[in-house]
């Protein structure tokens, strides 16, 4: 049977032509939301009333949305972050939730390194100077040969580490889950695992690649900034919630750290008068690290393939709420145990 698929993800609108064609060839009706996400609960409830699937931005997928949209079978995030999806509520409602964790890894790793170079060499300030008619020396610092600290080493963190080797950087990493797993051995020769305290004391650049969890939200606060070198720079392409905004602004204004480069924020977009927009020694970009053409095309394709898999009666890749398969309210045919083990 044909499904109606709502698309709220701007990246899919821009780069998902091939993915949309595949959905339409399978008989799906693909519709765009009136504006790109993130959308509110009220907006989603209005738009999802007769939809079986959504290829979503970081919209508010809550218990209320699932209850109000009984035809909805899958939330396919066009991206890696699933913070805005209430996974427990989705599982309880029988709604499958998926994401596309590998599609943007190279794009974000490239961008992270670009931010590192930009803040170290003050490239945005030099551009602003030239466009204003000026001409002067703007002093920066070397990235080559410095120490890079990675907080979190998933696909993106590893990609940043691999790029850093070309700059002869010493690479430290803190990832408690990875450090205790057999996979840690795969990183021998690439980086050195240390405690977060040790990483902050030694690193010239600290790059965040951790998810937003109860343990990590607000972890970069005044105590953490006090542990960093006054010559160190912070880069965040992970989640804005990892940083306590007021404490970062104070660290920048007081010179407690040398600078920061941010692509993600606690609330997106930050208000036009948000103090971060005026903070010194700071490079700001609008959550754009993922936005390489090749990455957005792959994200779009993978998010569409998750929907098509479910439509075909298969278990999609990258199911984020595997408890859904045991829910009595499951809104799709129940897969076998072997399928769940392979695909979730």
My answer on whether 209 and 71 are in the same domain is no
Q: Identify the band that residue 343 occupies on the pLDDT scale cut at 50, 70 and 90.
A: very low
Q: Are 277 and 252 in contact (CB under 8 A)?
A: no
Q: What is the spatial distance between Cα 231 and Cα 141, in angstroms, rounded to a whole number?
A: 10
Does residue 344 carry a pLDDT above 80?
no
Range(s) of the domain holding residue 184: 105-284
State yes or no: pLDDT of 339 exceeds 70. no
SS3 86: coil
Beta strands at 192-193 and 170-174: parallel, antiparallel or unpaired: parallel
Closest listed residue to residue 232, CA positions, set 89, 119, 316: 119
| Same domain assignment for residues 183 and 95 | no
Q: Say yes or no: 42 and 86 in one domain.
A: yes
Look at residue 340 in the predicted model and tell me its pLDDT: 55
Beta bridge partners of 252: none
Beta strands 96-98 and 147-151, pairing class: unpaired
Burial of 139-149, coded b for 16+ CB within 10 Å and e otherwise, reads: eeeebeebbbb
pLDDT value at 116 more than 70: yes
Query: Do 168 and 54 reside in the same domain of the chain?
Result: no
Question: Which one has a higher pLDDT value, 271 or 341?
Answer: 271
CATH of the domain at 56: 3.40.50.720
Residue 125's pLDDT is what? 97
Residue range 125-134, pLDDT digits in tens: 999 999 999 9
Residues 267 and 326 in one domain: no
Share of the chain above pLDDT 90, in %: 94
182-198 tens-digit pLDDT: 999 999 999 999 999 99
Domain end point (choices 284, 309, 332): 284
Angle, helices 155-165 vs 105-121, to 10°: value is 50
Q: What is the mean pLDDT of the chain?
A: 95
Tokens of 303: 């998010």
In the predicted model, is pLDDT for residue 219 greater than 70? yes
* The pLDDT of residue 41: 98
Domain boundary among 284, 304, 331: 284
The one-character DSSP state at 289 is T
Q: Which residues does the annotation mark as catalytic?
A: 239, 268, 287
CA–CA gap between residue 166 and residue 344 (Å, rounded) = 35
Does residue 54 contact residue 85 with C-beta atoms inside 8 Å? no
Contacts of 109 (CB under 8 A, 6+ apart): 156, 159, 160, 162, 163
Q: Are residues 178 and 74 in the same domain?
A: no
Report residue 81's pLDDT band, with 50, 70 and 90 as the boundaries: confident
Distance CA 227, CA 308 (A): 49
Question: Is 308 in the same domain as 244?
Answer: no
pLDDT digits (tens, 9 = 90+) for 129-154: 999 999 999 999 999 999 999 999 99
Are residues 258 and 198 both part of a single domain?
yes
Q: Are residue 136 and residue 256 in the same domain, yes or no?
A: yes
The two tokens of residue 173 are: 């990493």
Backbone angles phi, psi at 57, to 5 degrees: -85, -165
Indicate the number of domains in the chain: 2
DSSP letters spanning 102-151: TTTHHHHHHHHHHHHHHHHHTHHHHHHHHHTT----------TT-EEEEE
Q: Which of 234, 263, 258 is nearest to 148 (CA)?
A: 234
Q: How far apart are CA 165 and CA 144, in angstroms?
A: 9
Which residue from 76, 74, 79, 75 is spatially nearest to 101, judged by alpha carbons? 79
DSSP 162-175: HHHHTTT-EEEEE-
For residues 58-65, give the mean pLDDT.
97
Read off the pLDDT of each residue in 291-298 and give the average, rounded to a whole number: 96
Q: How confident is the model at residue 338 (pLDDT cuts 50, 70, 90)?
A: low
Q: At what angle do helices 105-121 and 293-311 cross, to 10 degrees?
A: 150
Closest CA to 240 of 91, 58, 15: 58
Residues 187 and 84 in one domain: no
Show which of 284, 301, 330 is a domain's final residue: 284
Based on the fold, state whether residues 160 and 22 are members of the same structural domain. Answer: no
Q: Are residues 156 and 278 in the same domain?
A: yes
């Amino acid at each position: 049977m044909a499904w109606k698929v709502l698309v709220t993800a701007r990246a899919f609108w821009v780069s998902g032509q091939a993915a949309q064609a595949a959905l339409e060839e399978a008989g799906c009706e693909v519709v765009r939301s009136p504006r790109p996400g993130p959308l509110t609960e009220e907006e989603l409830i209005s738009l999802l009333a007769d939809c079986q699937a959504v290829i979503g931005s970081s919209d508010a997928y809550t218990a209320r949305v699932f209850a109000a949209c009984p035809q909805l079978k899958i939330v396919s995030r066009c991206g890696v972050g699933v913070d805005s999806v209430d996974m427990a509520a989705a599982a309880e409602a029988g709604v499958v939730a998926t994401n596309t964790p590998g599609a943007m890894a190279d794009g974000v790793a490239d961008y992270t390194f670009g931010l590192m170079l930009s803040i170290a060499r003050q490239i945005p300030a030099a551009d602003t100077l030239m466009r204003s008619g000026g001409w002067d020396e703007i002093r920066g610092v070397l990235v080559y040969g410095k120490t890079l600290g990675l907080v979190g080493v998933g696909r993106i963190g590893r990609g940043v580490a691999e790029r850093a080797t070309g700059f002869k950087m010493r690479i430290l990493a803190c990832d408690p889950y990875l450090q205790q797993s057999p996979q840690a051995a795969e990183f021998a020769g690439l980086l050195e695992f240390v405690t977060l305290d040790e990483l902050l004391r030694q690193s010239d650049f600290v790059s965040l690649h951790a998810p937003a969890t109860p343990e990590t939200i607000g972890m970069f606060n005044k105590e953490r900034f006090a542990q960093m070198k006054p010559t160190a720079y912070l880069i965040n392409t992970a989640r804005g919630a990892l940083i306590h905004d007021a404490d970062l602004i104070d660290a920048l204004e007081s010179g407690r750290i040398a600078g920061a480069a941010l692509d993600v924020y606690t609330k997106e977009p930050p208000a036009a008068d948000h103090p971060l927009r005026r903070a010194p020694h700071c490079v700001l970009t609008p959550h754009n690290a993922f936005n390489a053409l090749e990455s957005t095309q792959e994200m779009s394709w993978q998010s569409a393939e998750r929907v098509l898999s479910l439509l075909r009666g298969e278990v999609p890749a990258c199911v984020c709420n595997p408890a859904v398969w045991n829910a009595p309210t499951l809104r799709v045919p129940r897969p076998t145990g072997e399928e769940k083990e392979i695909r979730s």
